[in-house]
Amino acid sequence: MPQPSYTRGRQDKPLLTLTIGQAFDATVARHGEREALVVRHQGVRYSWRELAAEVDVHARALMALGVEVGERVGIWAPNCAQWCILQLAAAKVGAILVNINPAYRVGELEYVLRQSGCRWLVCADAFKTSDYHAMVQELVPELASHGVAELASERLPDLRGVISLAAEPPAGFLPWAALAGHAGQVEVAACEARQQGLQFDQPVNIQYTSGTTGAPKGATLSHYNILNNGYLVGQSLGLTERDRMVIPVPLYHCFGMVMANLGCITHGSAMVYPNDAFDAELTLRAVAEEHASILYGVPTMFIAMLDHPLRSRLDLSSLRSGIMAGATCPIEVMRKVIEQMHMAQVQIAYGMTETSPVSLQTGPDDELELRVTTVGRTQPQLETKLVDGDGRIVARGETGELCTRGYSVMLGYWDNLQATHDAIDPAGWMHTGDLAVMDDAGYVRIVGRNKDMIIRGGENIYPRELEEFFHTHPAVAEAQVVGIPCSKYGEEVVAWIRLRPGHSATAEELQQWCKVRLAHFKTPRHFRFVDEFPMTVTGKVQKFRMREISVEELGG
């Protein structure tokens, strides 16, 4: 009988039964004077003890603002010290942190705040082409006329107030610098009692994933989910208090806040943010000047660093390992990372937000070929199986949908029982939608997707969401969206558009229309205007044929 495509990860690594606050406090007690957080673009350096002081005062301030256990606090900002402080402070008081993509526009922001029922929003003033203050004021014009914690918004009735990271924000915003001043209203003992009353399996984080049915879904994750995932990813890397990790990946994503921040926090490793967003030169300088041993990134980041003229002039010899995730890595890129960036033990990780995120990972000693052709083996304390269309486990070497079960599977989609039911089966298996093959040694190779999801530069894009979005344009009768290969980002978005009779629109007009309403990574790079779409005899759109035609015309 052929061996089934099922594996169970190592069971000798016990899971942590702590809240994030408890794990953080334990690290502070062990390594208090060691460096914990370096934020180079802000000129910030904290020891573990200094970081704890910031976290504790802001935890008390949140309580003073009336934040209760289970209430949602949104964070809409690029990488910065305040992001890390809020992540830990919110966890200590039992709040649920809602990660908001810094690239979101007004409509996306409104949806996330409303769907999650956010009570408070913490936001930057601006980032790249986004004016966060202006977008918040558009959504909540009442903000300027209300006192602290007294907001009454027509469009966002749950929202109590907005905290700005700017030194002097417009009227109505509570400056972050003034937030700590509210801590005196809450006794230290009251904050400690709040933390002691929390359970490790309570929700602590909501991360929105693009929705296959148009609306993003909020993956709800517990302390147990994400603390253990960060811990076990770090275990695979061999993290210790002597490691220094450079983190150019975004904190709003699991890669940053879980695999990086929580991976470091559970092992006492220093967190180094080179900039508010990825910059190849600043990342390379951070590695060299901070004597970093660990570096994270998606393949496009590593390609940019390898190609940067400064790289060969910097001493990167302190590096030993790191993680590359988010997309498949070409073998030549992996070889150069190992040879030219000294990352002999670099690992590949695979997962999804709904699984906290990592479910499979290569090991430090895996052969190069395994690190570029597979996503590794099942992580400790998890199970993996590959199933056919009937839900039956396929034999090794056969293609099936990858499913994950164990501690990392989310609690569910926030306030969306149907979507949760569709994603997690009655036996507790999370269905990823990815098609994979498992070999005799248990290594898994991703071969495709049974959903139409596009992965561009590590960001998941669901065509259905974009197609429904295009239908709100007055000139668009119908839209179909596909992805085509791209050497820089992995995939690029192509929109096929059928215009309404008597209407006109150019690619440039639609692109500009998208840019002011969508996160930049979702905006299609290419447009193709058609009178009809390739169809089957039964009238179904042939996306595979659209993809083939797009590749023929545009390359890829």
**Per-residue confidence (pLDDT) for residue 535, from 0 to 100:** 75
Asked if 72 contacts 156 with a C-beta cutoff of 8 angstroms, the reply is no
Distance (Å) of CA 411 to CA 17, 88, 386, 424, 446: 16, 20, 22, 10, 25
Instruction: Judge whether residue 346 has pLDDT over 90.
Output: yes
Residue for token pair 């009454």: 152
The pLDDT of 222-238, averaged and rounded, is: 98
pLDDT(75) > 50? yes
Residue 472 burial (10 A CB sphere; 0-12, 13-18, 19+): exposed
> Which pLDDT score, from 0 to 100, does residue 212 have?
42
b (16+ CB within 10 A) / e for 307-317: ebeebeeeebe
Span 411-420, mean pLDDT?
97
Q: Where are the domains of the chain?
A: 6-14+219-449, 48-199, 454-554
- Is the pLDDT confidence value at 64 over 60? yes
Banded pLDDT at 191 (limits 50, 70, 90) = very high
Task: Write the CATH number of the domain with boundaries 48-199.
Answer: 3.40.50.980
Beta bridge pairs of residue 130: 127
The amino acid at 303: I
Taking only the tens place, the pLDDT of each residue in 17-28 is 999 999 999 999
Residue 15 clears pLDDT 70, i.e. is over it: yes
Beta carbons within 8 Å of 460's beta carbon, 6+ residues apart: 209, 210, 453, 454
| Amino acid 536: pLDDT | 58
CATH class of the region 454-554: alpha beta
Which of 43-47, 54-58, 66-70, 486-490 is predicted with the least confidence, judged by mean pLDDT? 486-490
Region label for 207, one of left (φ > 0), alpha (ψ between -120 and 50) or beta (otherwise): beta
Q: What pLDDT, on the 0 to 100 scale, is given for residue 537?
A: 56
Place of tokens 């949806």: 111
Mean pLDDT of all residues in 47-75: 98
Residue 494 confidence (pLDDT) above 80: yes
Token pair, residue 95, equals 């709040």
Query: C-alpha 82: how far from its chain's center?
Result: 17
Is the pLDDT at 463 greater than 60? The verdict is yes
Mean pLDDT of 90-102: 97
> 462 or 323: whose pLDDT is higher?
323
Nearest to 484 by CA among 449, 526, 518: 526
In the structure, what pLDDT confidence band is assigned to residue 216 with cuts at 50, 70 and 90? confident
Of residues 227, 223, 195, the one with CA closest to residue 92: 195
Residue 526's pLDDT is 96
Question: Which of 415, 420, 542 shows the shortest CA–CA distance to 482?
Answer: 542
pTM: 0.87
What is the residue-averaged pLDDT of the chain? Answer: 94
pLDDT at 246: 98
Q: What pLDDT is recorded for position 332?
A: 83
pLDDT value at 129 more than 50:
yes
Percent of the chain past pLDDT 90, that is, above it, reads 81
Backbone angles phi and psi of 141, in degrees to 5: -65, -20
Q: How far apart are CA 223 and CA 217, in angstroms?
A: 19
Distance (Å, whole) CA 458 – CA 103: 14
Cross-strand bridge partners of residue 491: 485
Contact of 102 with 300, CB cutoff 8 Å: no
Burial of 544 from C-beta contacts in 10 A (0-12 / 13-18 / 19+): exposed
pLDDT at 213: 46
For position 450, what pLDDT does the model report? Answer: 62
The pLDDT score that the predictor gives to residue 402 is 97
The span from the CA of 267 to the CA of 262, in Å, is: 9
Give the right CATH number for 6-14+219-449 from 1.10.150.120, 3.40.50.12780, 3.40.50.9100, 3.30.70.20.
3.40.50.12780
Question: For position 373, what pLDDT does the model report?
Answer: 87
What is the average per-residue pLDDT within 64-71?
Answer: 98
Give the closest residue to 336 by CA, choosing from 304, 361, 370, 380.
304
CB 430 within 8 A of CB 404: yes
* Maximum separation of any 2 CA atoms in the chain, in Å: 72
Angle between the N-to-C axes of helices 188-196 and 48-64, in degrees from 0 to 180, rounded to the nearest 10: 90
Report, as an integer, the average pLDDT of 247-272.
97
Rounded to 5 degrees, what angle do the CA atoms 377, 483, 547 make?
115
- 296: nearest Cα among 242, 225, 349: 349
Residue 295: φ, ψ to 5°: -140, 130
Domains 48-199 and 454-554 share a fold: no
Nearest in space to 347 (alpha carbons), one of 337, 360, 361: 361
Strand (E) or helix (H) holding 418: helix 417-423
Q: How far is CA 350 from CA 252, 338, 345, 402, in A?
A: 18, 19, 16, 11
Of 153, 155, 72, 141, whose CA–CA distance to 107 is shortest?
Answer: 155
Q: In what order do the strands lie in the sheet with 490-499?
A: 476-486, 490-499, 526-529
Q: How far apart are CA 103 and CA 166, in angstroms?
A: 18
Strands across the sheet containing 96-99 = 174-175, 161-164, 118-123, 72-76, 96-99, 203-209, 217-222, 412-413
